[in-house]
Amino acid sequence: MSITQSIGQDIRSMEMSLMPDFKFQCANTTCLPFLNVITLNIEYCQIACLGQSQCTAATFHRSTSDCELFDNMLNQNGNLLGDVDAISMNVISGTRFPPAAMLTSSNTTTSTTITSVTTTTTESTSTTINTAGSVSVSTTRTAYYATDDIFINCSTPLTNVTIQITVSKTVGATFNGGFTTFPGGQINQYYIDNGTDIIYTWTIINGQTINCTISTYQIQAQYGLSGTSQPNHVDSYTTIIETSNGVTTVNSGYF
Protein backbone atom coordinates (compact mmCIF):
# COMPACT_ATOMS: atom_id res chain seq x y z
CA MET A 1 0.00 0.00 0.00
CA SER A 2 1.45 3.34 -1.01
CA ILE A 3 0.61 6.17 1.38
CA THR A 4 0.42 9.63 -0.13
CA GLN A 5 0.10 12.91 1.73
CA SER A 6 -2.30 15.47 0.32
CA ILE A 7 0.53 18.03 -0.01
CA GLY A 8 3.72 17.76 -1.98
CA GLN A 9 5.81 15.60 0.36
CA ASP A 10 5.08 12.35 2.21
CA ILE A 11 6.22 12.95 5.78
CA ARG A 12 5.00 10.90 8.71
CA SER A 13 5.53 11.21 12.45
CA MET A 14 4.08 10.14 15.77
CA GLU A 15 4.91 9.96 19.46
CA MET A 16 4.83 6.79 21.55
CA SER A 17 4.86 6.07 25.27
CA LEU A 18 6.98 3.05 26.25
CA MET A 19 6.08 0.38 28.82
CA PRO A 20 9.10 -1.91 29.34
CA ASP A 21 8.48 -5.45 30.66
CA PHE A 22 4.81 -5.52 29.62
CA LYS A 23 2.90 -7.09 26.75
CA PHE A 24 -0.70 -6.71 25.59
CA GLN A 25 -2.84 -9.63 26.71
CA CYS A 26 -6.62 -9.83 26.28
CA ALA A 27 -9.23 -12.23 27.57
CA ASN A 28 -10.87 -12.34 24.13
CA THR A 29 -9.66 -12.36 20.55
CA THR A 30 -10.81 -8.86 19.64
CA CYS A 31 -7.45 -7.35 20.53
CA LEU A 32 -5.20 -9.76 18.67
CA PRO A 33 -2.52 -8.00 16.59
CA PHE A 34 -3.56 -7.17 13.04
CA LEU A 35 0.03 -7.67 11.86
CA ASN A 36 3.09 -9.57 13.07
CA VAL A 37 6.49 -8.73 11.61
CA ILE A 38 10.05 -9.67 12.48
CA THR A 39 12.16 -6.56 13.07
CA LEU A 40 15.83 -6.02 13.86
CA ASN A 41 15.11 -4.12 17.09
CA ILE A 42 12.49 -2.04 18.88
CA GLU A 43 13.24 1.00 16.71
CA TYR A 44 12.26 -0.88 13.56
CA CYS A 45 9.12 -2.13 15.32
CA GLN A 46 8.25 1.54 15.90
CA ILE A 47 8.90 2.25 12.21
CA ALA A 48 6.59 -0.64 11.28
CA CYS A 49 3.83 0.91 13.42
CA LEU A 50 4.47 4.29 11.81
CA GLY A 51 4.02 2.74 8.38
CA GLN A 52 0.55 1.38 9.26
CA SER A 53 -1.90 4.27 9.68
CA GLN A 54 -4.29 2.17 11.79
CA CYS A 55 -1.59 1.14 14.30
CA THR A 56 -2.33 2.47 17.80
CA ALA A 57 -0.06 0.19 19.85
CA ALA A 58 2.76 -2.31 19.46
CA THR A 59 4.67 -4.94 21.43
CA PHE A 60 8.27 -5.96 20.67
CA HIS A 61 9.55 -9.31 22.00
CA ARG A 62 13.31 -9.19 22.57
CA SER A 63 14.07 -12.93 22.32
CA THR A 64 12.18 -13.56 19.08
CA SER A 65 12.33 -10.07 17.48
CA ASP A 66 8.58 -10.43 16.92
CA CYS A 67 6.79 -7.10 16.52
CA GLU A 68 3.03 -7.16 17.12
CA LEU A 69 0.94 -4.26 15.79
CA PHE A 70 -2.51 -3.50 17.25
CA ASP A 71 -5.37 -1.35 15.98
CA ASN A 72 -8.12 -2.12 18.50
CA MET A 73 -6.71 -1.35 21.93
CA LEU A 74 -9.64 0.56 23.42
CA ASN A 75 -8.23 0.12 26.94
CA GLN A 76 -4.53 -0.16 26.27
CA ASN A 77 -3.18 0.14 29.81
CA GLY A 78 -5.88 -2.19 31.15
CA ASN A 79 -4.75 -4.99 28.82
CA LEU A 80 -1.15 -5.21 30.04
CA LEU A 81 0.50 -8.33 31.40
CA GLY A 82 3.98 -8.42 32.91
CA ASP A 83 6.63 -9.98 30.64
CA VAL A 84 10.35 -9.20 31.04
CA ASP A 85 10.94 -10.20 27.41
CA ALA A 86 8.54 -7.59 26.02
CA ILE A 87 8.34 -3.85 25.50
CA SER A 88 4.93 -2.37 24.71
CA MET A 89 4.21 1.02 23.19
CA ASN A 90 1.14 3.20 22.79
CA VAL A 91 0.78 5.84 20.08
CA ILE A 92 -0.02 9.03 21.99
CA SER A 93 -3.43 10.28 20.90
CA GLY A 94 -3.35 13.18 18.45
CA THR A 95 0.37 12.92 17.64
CA ARG A 96 0.23 10.88 14.40
CA PHE A 97 1.01 13.06 11.39
CA PRO A 98 -0.66 13.10 9.01
CA PRO A 99 -3.90 11.82 10.58
CA ALA A 100 -5.48 8.78 8.93
CA ALA A 101 -8.08 11.04 7.30
CA MET A 102 -5.33 12.73 5.28
CA LEU A 103 -3.96 9.48 3.84
CA THR A 104 -4.99 7.96 0.52
CA SER A 105 -4.10 4.63 -1.02
CA SER A 106 -2.96 3.65 -4.49
CA ASN A 107 -2.42 0.25 -6.10
CA THR A 108 1.34 0.24 -5.57
CA THR A 109 2.70 -2.23 -3.03
CA THR A 110 5.52 -1.25 -0.68
CA SER A 111 6.94 -2.56 2.59
CA THR A 112 6.22 -0.96 5.96
CA THR A 113 9.77 0.32 6.22
CA ILE A 114 9.93 3.57 4.26
CA THR A 115 12.87 3.45 1.86
CA SER A 116 11.99 5.78 -1.03
CA VAL A 117 11.62 9.51 -0.73
CA THR A 118 11.30 12.78 -2.63
CA THR A 119 14.29 15.03 -3.35
CA THR A 120 14.75 18.28 -5.25
CA THR A 121 17.08 18.71 -8.18
CA THR A 122 17.76 22.40 -8.48
CA GLU A 123 17.16 24.06 -5.13
CA SER A 124 17.18 23.47 -1.39
CA THR A 125 13.96 22.69 0.42
CA SER A 126 13.07 22.58 4.08
CA THR A 127 10.20 20.84 5.84
CA THR A 128 9.52 21.17 9.56
CA ILE A 129 7.27 19.07 11.80
CA ASN A 130 6.52 20.47 15.24
CA THR A 131 6.72 17.50 17.61
CA ALA A 132 8.16 16.81 21.06
CA GLY A 133 11.55 16.30 19.47
CA SER A 134 11.22 18.76 16.61
CA VAL A 135 12.90 17.56 13.40
CA SER A 136 13.46 19.56 10.22
CA VAL A 137 15.12 18.43 7.02
CA SER A 138 16.69 20.10 4.01
CA THR A 139 18.53 19.02 0.90
CA THR A 140 20.97 20.66 -1.51
CA ARG A 141 21.40 19.35 -5.05
CA THR A 142 23.85 20.12 -7.83
CA ALA A 143 24.94 18.01 -10.78
CA TYR A 144 28.17 17.04 -9.00
CA TYR A 145 27.51 17.19 -5.27
CA ALA A 146 24.59 16.80 -2.88
CA THR A 147 23.83 16.87 0.83
CA ASP A 148 20.85 15.67 2.85
CA ASP A 149 20.52 17.38 6.23
CA ILE A 150 18.50 16.62 9.36
CA PHE A 151 18.21 19.15 12.20
CA ILE A 152 17.01 18.05 15.64
CA ASN A 153 15.86 20.65 18.16
CA CYS A 154 17.00 19.62 21.63
CA SER A 155 15.36 20.97 24.80
CA THR A 156 15.13 17.78 26.90
CA PRO A 157 18.06 15.34 27.29
CA LEU A 158 18.07 12.61 24.64
CA THR A 159 18.48 9.00 25.79
CA ASN A 160 18.04 7.32 22.42
CA VAL A 161 18.91 8.61 18.97
CA THR A 162 18.67 6.50 15.81
CA ILE A 163 18.91 8.29 12.47
CA GLN A 164 19.11 6.69 9.04
CA ILE A 165 19.49 8.35 5.65
CA THR A 166 19.27 6.19 2.53
CA VAL A 167 20.76 7.64 -0.65
CA SER A 168 19.89 5.94 -3.93
CA LYS A 169 22.67 5.21 -6.42
CA THR A 170 20.24 5.53 -9.35
CA VAL A 171 22.51 8.02 -11.15
CA GLY A 172 25.77 6.85 -9.61
CA ALA A 173 25.95 8.61 -6.25
CA THR A 174 29.28 8.04 -4.49
CA PHE A 175 29.96 8.23 -0.76
CA ASN A 176 31.60 11.50 0.31
CA GLY A 177 31.28 11.17 4.08
CA GLY A 178 28.96 12.19 6.86
CA PHE A 179 28.88 15.02 9.35
CA THR A 180 27.28 15.58 12.73
CA THR A 181 27.36 18.19 15.48
CA PHE A 182 26.44 15.62 18.13
CA PRO A 183 29.21 15.36 20.75
CA GLY A 184 32.11 13.08 19.92
CA GLY A 185 32.10 9.85 21.87
CA GLN A 186 28.31 9.80 22.20
CA ILE A 187 27.23 8.86 18.66
CA ASN A 188 28.27 5.92 16.49
CA GLN A 189 28.31 6.46 12.72
CA TYR A 190 27.98 3.68 10.14
CA TYR A 191 28.07 3.81 6.34
CA ILE A 192 27.12 0.90 4.09
CA ASP A 193 27.26 0.78 0.28
CA ASN A 194 25.19 -2.21 -0.86
CA GLY A 195 25.51 -1.46 -4.56
CA THR A 196 22.00 -0.01 -4.83
CA ASP A 197 21.98 2.50 -1.98
CA ILE A 198 24.35 4.23 0.39
CA ILE A 199 22.95 3.85 3.90
CA TYR A 200 24.10 6.32 6.54
CA THR A 201 23.23 5.45 10.15
CA TRP A 202 23.86 7.35 13.38
CA THR A 203 23.01 5.80 16.77
CA ILE A 204 23.60 6.89 20.34
CA ILE A 205 26.22 4.82 22.18
CA ASN A 206 24.62 2.60 24.83
CA GLY A 207 24.36 4.32 28.19
CA GLN A 208 25.01 7.80 26.81
CA THR A 209 22.68 10.77 27.31
CA ILE A 210 22.89 13.87 25.12
CA ASN A 211 22.27 16.81 27.42
CA CYS A 212 21.34 19.49 24.86
CA THR A 213 24.45 21.63 25.24
CA ILE A 214 23.30 23.31 22.03
CA SER A 215 19.69 23.85 20.96
CA THR A 216 19.91 22.23 17.50
CA TYR A 217 21.99 19.26 16.38
CA GLN A 218 22.76 18.53 12.74
CA ILE A 219 23.24 15.29 10.80
CA GLN A 220 24.45 15.47 7.19
CA ALA A 221 24.92 12.84 4.48
CA GLN A 222 27.30 13.96 1.71
CA TYR A 223 27.67 12.33 -1.68
CA GLY A 224 29.12 13.02 -5.09
CA LEU A 225 27.49 12.86 -8.52
CA SER A 226 28.95 12.60 -12.02
CA GLY A 227 27.15 15.41 -13.85
CA THR A 228 23.53 14.31 -13.43
CA SER A 229 21.44 15.63 -10.56
CA GLN A 230 19.79 13.17 -8.21
CA PRO A 231 16.22 12.46 -9.49
CA ASN A 232 13.09 12.96 -7.43
CA HIS A 233 11.62 10.28 -5.16
CA VAL A 234 14.83 8.44 -4.31
CA ASP A 235 16.34 9.51 -0.92
CA SER A 236 14.75 8.85 2.49
CA TYR A 237 15.21 9.43 6.20
CA THR A 238 13.95 7.97 9.45
CA THR A 239 14.60 9.45 12.91
CA ILE A 240 13.77 7.89 16.27
CA ILE A 241 14.31 10.24 19.21
CA GLU A 242 13.64 9.33 22.85
CA THR A 243 13.86 11.96 25.59
CA SER A 244 14.66 11.49 29.27
CA ASN A 245 10.98 11.91 30.16
CA GLY A 246 10.10 8.76 28.20
CA VAL A 247 8.60 10.31 25.05
CA THR A 248 9.65 8.66 21.80
CA THR A 249 9.16 10.55 18.52
CA VAL A 250 9.41 8.73 15.19
CA ASN A 251 9.71 10.75 11.98
CA SER A 252 10.04 9.43 8.46
CA GLY A 253 9.75 11.24 5.18
CA TYR A 254 11.18 12.75 2.04
CA PHE A 255 13.96 15.22 1.48
**DSSP 8-state assignment for residue 99:** -
CATH of domain 3-102: 3.50.4.10
Q: What pLDDT, on a 0 to 100 scale, did the predictor assign at position 99?
A: 67
Number of CB atoms found within 10 A of residue 133's CB: 24
Q: What pLDDT, on a 0 to 100 scale, did the predictor assign at position 96?
A: 78
Q: What is the pLDDT along the chain (255 residues), one digit of tens a residue?
A: 222 222 234 456 777 888 888 888 766 556 788 878 777 778 778 877 877 778 888 898 988 888 888 887 765 566 788 889 998 888 888 877 766 544 433 333 223 333 333 333 333 333 333 333 478 888 888 888 888 989 898 889 999 888 999 999 999 999 988 889 998 888 888 888 888 889 898 988 888 899 988 888 989 999 999 888 888 778 999 898 888 888 888 888 888
Q: What pLDDT, on a 0 to 100 scale, did the predictor assign at position 119?
A: 32
Please choose, from the candidates 127, 120, 154, the residue with its C-alpha nearest in 3D space to the C-alpha of residue 10.
127
Amino acid at 252: S
Q: What pLDDT, on a 0 to 100 scale, did the predictor assign at position 4?
A: 24
Separation of CA 233 from chain center: 17
Separation of CA 197 from chain center: 17
Q: Where are the domains of the chain?
A: 3-102, 125-254
**DSSP 8-state assignment for residue 124:** -
Q: What pLDDT, on a 0 to 100 scale, did the predictor assign at position 169?
A: 92
Task: Report whether 241 contacts 136 (CB < 8 A).
Answer: no
Q: What pLDDT, on a 0 to 100 scale, did the predictor assign at position 246?
A: 84
202-220 exposure pattern, b = at least 16 Cβ within 10 A, e = fewer: bbbeeebebebeeeebebb
Q: What pLDDT, on a 0 to 100 scale, did the predictor assign at position 41?
A: 75
Q: In this structure, is the dihedral angle defined by the CA atoms of residues 220, 225, 230 and 234, taken in order, positive or negative?
A: negative
**Fold that domain 125-254 belongs to in CATH:** Immunoglobulin-like (2.60.40)
